[in-house]
Amino acid sequence: MIHPHTRLVAIDSVVGNGVVATRRIPRGTITWVLDELDRPLTGTEMNAMPSCYDKLIDLWTFRDGRGHRVLCWDTGRNLNHSCEPNCGGSEFWFEVALRDIEPGEQLTNDYATLYMRPSEDFACRCGSPLCRGAASHEQVPIVVAAIQKQLQLALSELTLVPQPLSGLLRADWLERARELVASNLVAASVDAVVAVGE
Amino acid sequence: MIHPCSELRFISPEVGYGVFATQDIPRGTFLWVLDYFDRILTPAEVGALQPQLRTIADRYSYQAADGNFVFCWDFGRYMNHSCEPTSRGVGDAFEVAIRDVAAGEELTSEYGTLNLLTPMTCYCGAPSCRGTIRRDDAARHFEQWDEQTRTAFALSHTVPQPLLPFAKLGARDLPLMDALQAGRATWVPSSRDFHIVDVPEEVLFASGHGAP
Ligand SMILES: [Zn+2]
Ligand SMILES: [Zn+2]
């Protein structure tokens, strides 16, 4: 479930829709949690779908690192890419604000942290001063390592800010996330998954 | 999956959202189909949902003829009820437009076939409004409903059906699809047969709707 202080807005004809903050969301806020209405699609389920679903799967789901493509039931599926994202951590099954997000600002992910594959490289027009121009699977290790530092800081501030999604966060997920960032295992696991093509 | 020529609009704080046609859509068109992305929840799964999610599931899911609950992944879940709806359910996977729908008109369906857990007060404003919508309404109204559905479905092979490739067909949909392909749709399953007599206990107890 996406943070309640957000809404879906039309960005422009190229990007389509995006999710923006309706109030200030401080760093360390949990911005999204995988919940029981989100649907992890298994390989078997996806194979049973007619080929007209291929595009929908690419458009609306993300990889969770466990072999699933997760379809969010709410606007969690509308987050756009940025080379300078303000949210991260989907590999923990929840996301956290990496910096303060101002009202009207889009919530973004770096798609390179979402188990990107070689066939999924794309030209980026995110507009960030740090824009890589083309988002490529080859950048994954660098991107993941950089985000890991931001995640560590954000996770350390979890108890300092209001957490409207805390009722959905499982304690063992939080524990796991803290262990992963502390031991640099995030980069390793993403690397491994990308290397073997999942 | 909701018809591509539709959009979500906010109606009012009381009603919430509704789905509206963005183009004219002819009678016989499938306005919604059950698809492979829609989430199917067993009664036990609904009963075990975390409270925030349970509230959402109660409001936006319906109970299908097999007893499971369907939570639509797209804004099809915001379709409101009307006692004179634009579409009726046919088979397990389809809502068929029972009249021509004009651009700008709200797409509505009949909750009387969706196995409501609790009766719903209706403010649809239709001349034939039933006032209260109940779980067993189909048992009383099926003849009229089935007639409308049959007439509309007979036109289904004559109009564009953008949703058809996405439909996840149930057992009761196969004869419908055969009839559609042959261009002779004279029979539809009765809406009466989609009524479930038993309310699943797992769901009721967890929601506080019933005893103990
Ligand atoms: Zn960029
Ligand atoms: Zn009514």
Closest by CA position to B49, among listed A63, A198, A38: A38
B106 Cα to the center of ligand 2, angstroms: 14
User: What residues in B contact A56, CB-CB < 8 Å?
Assistant: 37
pLDDT at B202: 75
- Asked if the structure places residue B212 within a domain, the reply is no
What is the ipTM metric for this complex? 0.90
SS3 category, A57: helix
Q: A59-109 pLDDT, tens per residue?
A: 999 988 788 999 999 999 999 999 999 999 988 899 999 999 999 999 999
Whose tokens are 């939080």? That residue is A174
Q: Distance between CA B126 and CA A98 in Å, rounded?
A: 51
Closest by CA position to B65, among listed B92, B90, B43, B39: B92
Q: Distance between CA A151 and CA A91 in Å, rounded?
A: 11
- Asked if the structure places residue B123 within a domain, the reply is yes
Query: What is the span of the domain harbouring residue B155?
Result: 6-205
Domain A6-38+73-197 matching CATH 2.170.270: the answer reads: yes
Give the number of whichever ligand sits closest to the CA of residue A133. 1
Amino acid identity of A179?
A: E
- Asked if the structure places residue B44 within a domain, the reply is yes
Max CA pair span of chain A: 47
pLDDT of residue A198 exceeding 50: no
User: What residues in A contact B166, CB-CB < 8 Å?
Assistant: 50, 52-53
Three-state secondary structure string covering B9-59: EEEECCCEEEEEECCCECCCCEEEECECCCEEECHHHHHCCCHHHHHHHHH
Q: A28-53 pLDDT, tens per residue?
A: 999 999 999 999 999 999 999 999 99
Q: Distance between CA B11 and CA B139 in Å, rounded?
A: 31
Alpha-carbon A190 to chain mean position: 13
How many domains does the structure of chain B reveal? 1
Please state the φ and ψ torsions of residue B107, each to the nearest 5 degrees. -85, 125
Q: Which residues of A touch B (CB under 8 A)?
A: 1, 35-37, 39, 45, 48-50, 52-53, 56, 60, 71, 73, 167-168
CB contact under 8 A, B53 and A52: no
- Asked if the structure places residue B210 within a domain, the reply is no
User: What residues in A contact B57, CB-CB < 8 Å?
Assistant: 37
pLDDT at B206: 53
> Closest chain A residue to B73 measured between Cα atoms?
A73
Q: B24-46 pLDDT, tens per residue?
A: 999 999 999 999 999 999 999 99
What residue ranges do the domains of chain A occupy? 6-38+73-197
CATH number for the domain spanning B158: value is 2.170.270.10
CA distance B10 to chain A (A): 13
> Closest chain A residue to B49 measured between Cα atoms?
A36
- Asked if the structure places residue B1 within a domain, the reply is no
Average pLDDT over residues B80-101: 97
